Chains A and B, each alone.
Chain A
Amino acid sequence: MKFLIAVGSKKYSEPTLRVGMQVAKAFGASVTILYVGPKVSAFSSSQVRLARESMDRWEIEHPGVEVLEWAFNFLAENNYITPKMIEAGFQKNTLVTTRGDRCELFLQGAVCEDVNLILRNGDIIPELRDEVAKGKYNVTIIGGSKKRRMAHDLVQYINSSIFIVKEFNHEIGYRLLMATDDSTGTKKAVKFGARVSQAFDMPIDILTVSKKSFFGSGYREASKKASTLIRRAGIDGEVQLKVGDPVDVIVESAGQDHIIVMGASTANPVKKFFIGSKPLKVMSDCECPILIVK
C-alpha cells in the first residue's frame, strides 16, 4: 500500500504528519511526504531557475526544503526511519530533481516501507492529482482547508481515498464513526475503518441513517454486515440506527471526538459537481477528521 501525506507548513501540518504516519505504520505502507510550494509565474520561470542556481552556489537551499527538513526531523524523532538514516541527518545534497521542478529525497523506513520526501511547486490540486496518478497511491492524507471548493476538488479529482485530518486534537480519545448505507462504497469503507480501529485500538460506532421512518433492507443489511465484521475482528463498538437528514445526523453524532469513515459517493460525477454529495457535505460541515474511502 502507498500513502501520500501532503504537508503545508511546520505550523499547521504537525497533526497531519503525526496521524498520517501512525496510520501508515499501522498498515506498514510505503509513505511519501509531499510539500507543494507556491506557483511561479510562467513569465519568470527561467529567471527564477537562474536565481535558484545562484542560491545553490551559495549553499542556500530552495524554498520548501526547510519543510522537508522539518518532516525529516519529525520522522527521526519518532524513529520512523532507520537509525542509519537518522545518524546521517538530513542530506540536502541528496535531493534528486525529477520531472521538471519536482525534487525527491529517498529514505529507508523503519516501521513502514520506504519514506520519500517530495517537493513540488504549483497549484495544490493539479500537483496532488499528478502525484497520486503517477505514484498510484491508495490514500492521500491532508490537513483541513477552509476553502469549500478545495474540499470538493480533493474528493472529486484525487483518485485515491482521502483522509482529511481536520480539527485533530491528540488529547482526545477518538472513536471511529462508521457511516453505513446501501451504497457499494460502504463495504470498502467498513473494511478500511475496521483496520484503522484495530491498529489504534479504537472503538467503532456504526451509524446508519435513514431519511424515512423505516430502514430498507439494504440499510439493515449494511449495518448488520458491518457489525458482524467488527465483532469477528474483536473490536468494541455499538450499532446505531437513526432517522433524519444523513448529513446533519452524521455531523451531529460525530461531534469533535470521532473520526468519520465513509465510502465515497458513487453518484454521477456531473450531479456531484453541481449538487454535491453526502461525503462532501459531511466533510464540509464536520468538526473532526474524516476518511473518505474510494
Chain B
Amino acid sequence: MKPLFILKNPFGFLSCHIKCNFPTRMLRILNQYTTNLIYGITRSRWLVAAFLIGFILFLLPSPEGLTVDGYRTIIIIIVALILIITEPIPLPGIALLIIILQVYFGIADANHVAHSFMNDAVFFIMGSLMLAVAIVQQGWDARIALGIIRLTGNSTLKISIGFIVISAVMSSFIGEHTVAAMMLPIGMTLIRYTSDDKTKVKNLAALLLFSIAYGSLIGSIGTPSGGGRNAIMMVYWKEFGLAPISYGKWMLMVYPLVLLQLPLLTWILWKSFVPEYLMLDSGIRKLKVQVARSGMIQPQQYFAVFLFFLVFLGWIFYSETVGLGIIALTGVVMYLVTGLAKWEEMSKHVNWGVVILFGATISLGTMVNETGAAQWIAGQVLNFAGEFVSSIPVFTDLIIVLMTTTLANILSSSATVAVLAPITLNLPGDSIHIGLITAIASAFGYFTAVAAPACTIIYASGMIKAKDFLKAGWKVGATSILMVLIYANIFWKLFG
C-alpha cells in the first residue's frame, strides 16, 4: 500500500518552545533543572558524604589524650582521603581545601601553613616531573631499545628480563614515571608488530608491560631520587629531628633488596602471563627499523646524558647539604640554559595541580606531627596490637607494610607517605628502619592502576585490563611484603 505521506521530522512535532502551552513548558524546564541538580548531587555524592562526615566529627568531642588541634587535623585527613580517592572535585581543589581548612580550624596560622606547604620534597617532585620531560624528549628511547635487543636477541623471556632490569636500574635514578614513558613505545612496538590482533597477544602484552611497570616500581625504592615518596621521607626525617641518612647509605641499605626482587618478579610474571609467542622476530625487525629511522646519536643527546650524570653526582655528594629537590631543580635550570629543553614543553607536561596537592598533603603530614595527632594514632595502633608488638618485633613492620601498601593502592604512593609517615615514624623502633620500611612499602602499588604513574601509564596503553593488575599483583605484592620483612630484619640488623 502506498503511504499517504512520509513523516519527515518527528522531533519538530512537539517542539516545546512553539507548541507547548505555558504551564507544560515551565514544567519541562523545571524538570530539566531538577534533573541537572540530581545529576550534580549524584556526581558529588562523595563530596557531600565527606563534608557530612567531617561536620559530624567536628561536632563530637575530641577523644581522650588527643588535643583539639590534633583531632581537627585527623578530621581534615579523613575528609581529604575520601575526596582524593573518589575525586568528586579536581585534585587542586582538594589541595586548596586542605590548606584553607588548616587555617579555618585554627590548627595553624596562614604563614605557618604556607611554610609547611613548600619544602624540599615539593621541589623534588616539581624538579623530577620537569626532568622527566627533558629526558624523554631527548629521544634516548630508541638507543635503549637497541641496547636491550642487542643483549637479549629475539627471545621473549630474555626481552622480558631485559625490560625488568633496565626499567629497575633506570627508575632508581630518574623516577619510575620517566622510565615508563620511555619504555612504553618500545614495548608497544614489539606487541603491535607481533600481531595486529590484540586478543592474540594478550599475555605477551601483559608480560612486557608489567615487566616495565613492576620493574620500575621495584627499582624506584633503590635510591632517594627514585620517587617523590622517598624524597618526602628524607624531608620528614630532617623536619622531625630524626637522623637522616645519606644518598649512598640509602642505596647500600636498599639496593640489595632491589636485586633480590628482580629474579622473583621475572619468574612470577612469566608464570602468570605465559606469552603466545616465544620469539618476537617481526616485532624486533620493526624495532630495528624504528631505531634506524631515528638516525645517528646527536652530540646534544650525549650532552643531555652528561647533564643528568651531573645531577646524579649532585644527589650523591650534595643532597645532604642542599637537598634532593634543589639539585633536581639545578638540573632543570641546566637543561633550560643549554636549550636542551623548552619551558613551554615542561610547563605543558607538569601537572601543577598534583604538585599543589603533594604540597598540601606534606603540609598536612607536618601538622599531624606537630599537633600530636601522629603520636595519638600510633598509640592507638600500639594499644590495638600491643602484646604482639612487644613479643614479635616484626609485627610492627608488618603493620606498617600492610597500612602503607593498602593506602598506596587506593590513593597514590607519594600522598600515602606524606600522610602516613608521620604516624609510622611515631611507632616504637629505629626511625631509619621504620622510615625505609614505609617508603619501600609505598612502592608496592602492584594491585591497582592508580597507585603509581608507571602502572597508570601501562594501563592507559589500552593493552592491560584492571583485573590483570590483580592477577599478577597479588603474587608480586605478597612476595615483596614477605621479602621486605625478612630482609629488613636480617640484613639491616647485620648491617647495624
Contact = CB atoms under 8 A, between A and B. Distances in A.
A172 interface: no
Interface in A28-83: 37-38, 40-55, 57-60, 62-64, 66
B136 A54 contact: yes
A198 B3 contact: yes
A47 B177 contact: yes
A156 B34 CA distance: 11
Given A1-B11, A58-B290, A42 B90 contact: yes
A165 to B, nearest CB: 19
Contact of A60 (B3, B136, B189): B189
A157 interface: yes
Interface stretch (B72-80, B151-159, B179-187, B472-480): B179-187
Interface residues on B, range: 35 or more
9 contacts: A38-B462, A44-B456, A46-B350, A62-B462, A66-B462, A184-B24, A188-B11, A234-B1, A234-B3
Contact of B5 (A1, A58, A59, A232): A232
Interface residues of A, number: 52
B14 A187 contact: yes
A187 B184 contact: no
Closest 6 CB pairs of A and B: A63-B462, A234-B3, A46-B351, A44-B456, A58-B185, A191-B10
Nearest to A11: B199
* Most chain A beta-carbon contacts within 10 A, residue among B10, B34, B354: B10
Contacts of B188: 55, 58, 60
B2 interface: yes
Contact of A268 (B3, B31, B184): B31
Interface string B1-27: 111111101110110000000001001
A207 to B, nearest CB: 19
B180 A270 contact: no
B457 A47 contact: yes
Interface stretch (B35-43, B116-124, B375-383): B35-43
B332 interface: no
Given A54-B181, A57-B185, A194-B10, 4 more contacts: A58-B188, A60-B188, A157-B35, A157-B39
Given A45-B351, A55-B188, A63 B461 contact: yes
Interface string A125-155: 0100100000000100000000000000100
B38 A46 contact: no
A198 B460 CA distance: 44
A42 B185 contact: no
A97 interface: no
B33 to A, nearest CB: 9
Contacts of A62: 462
Contacts of B11: 1, 138, 188, 192
A64 B462 contact: yes
Which of B7, B14, B133 has the largest number of chain A CB atoms within 10 A? B7
Given A44-B453, A187-B13, A269-B31, A234 B2 contact: yes
B456 A191 contact: no
Interface of A: 1, 37-38, 40-55, 57-60, 62-64, 66, 121, 126, 129, 138, 153, 156-157, 159, 184, 187-188, 191-192, 194-195, 198, 232-235, 266, 268-270, 273
Contacts of A1: 9, 11
DSSP majority for the A interface?
helix
Nearest to B34: A269
A153 B38 CA distance: 11
Given A57-B139, A234-B4, A50 B132 contact: yes
B468 to A, nearest CB: 13
Contacts of A60: 185, 188-189, 192
Nearest to B351: A46
B450 A43 contact: yes
A51 B3 contact: no
A188 B456 contact: no
B108 to A, nearest CB: 26
B353 interface: yes
B353 A42 contact: yes
A35 to B, nearest CB: 11
A50 B136 contact: yes
B3 A269 contact: no
B34 A270 contact: yes
A57 B136 CA distance: 11
A233 B7 contact: yes
Nearest to A236: B1
A153 B177 CA distance: 36
A63 B463 contact: yes
- Most B Cβ at <10 Å: residue of A57, A187, A195, A232: A57
A60 to B, nearest CB: 5
B470 to A, nearest CB: 16
A74 to B, nearest CB: 16
Contacts of A153: 42
A143 B217 CA distance: 38
Contacts of B182: 54
Contacts of B87: 42
Nearest to A266: B31
B354 A40 contact: no
Given A54-B136, A60-B188, A44 B39 contact: no
B462 A37 contact: yes
A46 B462 contact: no
A270 B42 CA distance: 12
A276 to B, nearest CB: 13
B185 A54 contact: yes
B447 interface: no
A38 B6 CA distance: 42
B459 interface: yes
Interface in B154-172: none
